Amino acid sequence: MTVIDANRMHEIETRYPEYFHRSFRQRFGGLMILIATLLYSLYAVWFFDLPKLFAEAHWERVGIYLSQWVSYDVQPEFRIEDDGSIDIRYPRFSPLGDNPHPDWLVNNPDGSITVSISGTSRSVTVSKSETIVTAHGVSVPVDVSNGAPKVVGPVPGWMTVYDDNVLADLGFAGNVSISVDRVKIRKRFIGWANFIFDTQSSFFDKPVGEVVSLIVSGPRIKPDQSNLSLAFDDIWNNSEWQHGDVWTKLFQTIVMAFLGTLLGSLTAFPLAFLAARNITPNRLLNQILKRFFDFLRSVDMLIWALFLTRAFGPGPLAGSGAIFLTETGTLGKLYSEGLENIDNKPREGIKSTGAQTVLVHRYGIMPQIVPVFVSQTLYQWESNVRGATIIGAVGAGGIGLKLWEAMRTNANWENVAYMVILILIVVFIFDTASNALRHRLMGTKTH
């Protein structure tokens, strides 16, 4: 066991004071940060009144909206006529087309109609005097012959009785509304209805094999147009999903992001040389340009889009302009800071040869900054693809406006899901391509 005497101990303390004479901040800094974070979290909970917010939130709507992203519903209505007959009606734009005959609807010999909501476990039988709802292992008759609907027997928890109708909630499968003279059924299906061909298409409701056969070797449906061209037109002009308009707006979003980023980088590049202190030794000009960059990027892209839509009207021009102004400020700041952090030795060496300023910049500065500038610009372009979607919602054009229009109806959530998936795919592709280019320029390997 080695014993250290007092002199040796004093020598060690003198040599390494940071270990033996730690300041208050070094000793308790971590604990103070932890306490401050905890206090701030408690303050945020109180300030935003999070317990009340969570208690009053409509969490059930989350499940409803998510289910509508991946499903669609059909809403037949059964009207009980005075003579006892039952008239079946569908909404004007029913996913089943103009003359539907679904196999889940059966006309019984006694004149009643049975609708299968979810196999045999959930069904509705409609007759002139009563409607029988079968769900959760029980069948509940609802009498409609005495002026007001009345549940016969005990009312189950999934059924609600009102003055003039009875509502049966069958979960994700759908629901049933029963009144004296009509029964409305909402039957839900997994999937996206008529995603390829709408109800007006010549290929609607045909099996895949028959559609392929018609396109490849079948007789022409329209004498003046091939079946392949007709199929493409029907898909592109699908009235329910509007593929042509959606893809056009998506392309507009990509062009907005590219054009705005390109113009912003071309404008910021020369201004950055004037804003960099080591390149342009004019303190007043440096400060004016840096404050100009701060102003452009401090006004959010969304605010610029609002201003420009008022000036030029709604459309991609306003979106491109908003991205251009924001990127001029952001890239101007990044470029100027990059220039101020270059190694001055190559620049001074070329300047000592008596070379002109342009050549000094070309050979002394550009090789150092081009990979960094291109990398930063690519990252901003990738980010602006996402930003262009947001500013489109305020009228700046692109798929963002289309997405906002679908969300405002509160009924076309499957269309919203379609556009969101397209946006995610585009962002993923641009993110992958941008990362690959950045790593290639910086000379690093991707993993």
Phi-psi region of 29 (alpha: psi -120 to 50; beta: other; left: phi over 0): alpha
Q: Band of the pLDDT at 444, cuts 50, 70, 90?
A: low
| 322-342 pLDDT, tens digit each | 999 999 999 999 999 888 888
Is 377 among the domain residues? yes
Task: Kindly state whether residues 287 and 165 are assigned to the same domain.
Answer: no
Facing residues of 130 across strands?
A: 143
Whether the predicted pLDDT of 447 surpasses 60: no
End position of a domain, from candidates 171, 190, 209: 190
Dihedral angle over CA of 317, 319, 325, 326, nearest 10: -170
Task: Kindly state whether residues 386 and 261 are assigned to the same domain.
Answer: yes
Question: What is the percent of the chain where pLDDT is above 70?
Answer: 93
| pTM higher than the cut 0.85 | no
Q: Provide the 10 A C-beta neighbour count for residue 28.
A: 12
Range(s) of the domain holding residue 393:
243-442
Domain count, the chain: 2
Task: Kindly state whether residues 184 and 255 are assigned to the same domain.
Answer: no
User: Environment class of residue 133 by beta-carbon count within 10 Å: exposed (0-12), middle (13-18) or buried (19+)?
Assistant: buried
Q: Are strands 130-135 and 122-126 parallel, antiparallel or unpaired?
A: antiparallel
Task: Kindly state whether residues 249 and 100 are assigned to the same domain.
Answer: no
Q: Band of the pLDDT at 389, cuts 50, 70, 90?
A: confident
Whether the predicted pLDDT of 413 surpasses 80: yes
Is 213 among the domain residues? no
Is 48 among the domain residues? no
Report helix angle 301-312 to 316-340, nearest 10.
140
Is 380 among the domain residues? yes
Q: How far from 222 is each of 196, 218, 227, 235, CA to CA, in Å?
A: 19, 11, 8, 16
Is 298 among the domain residues? yes
Residue 443 CA to residue 89 CA, distance in Å, equals: 66
Is 31 among the domain residues? no
Q: Band of the pLDDT at 5, cuts 50, 70, 90?
A: low
Whether the predicted pLDDT of 4 surpasses 70: no
Three-state secondary structure call for residue 151: strand
Q: Provide the 10 A C-beta neighbour count for residue 239.
A: 12
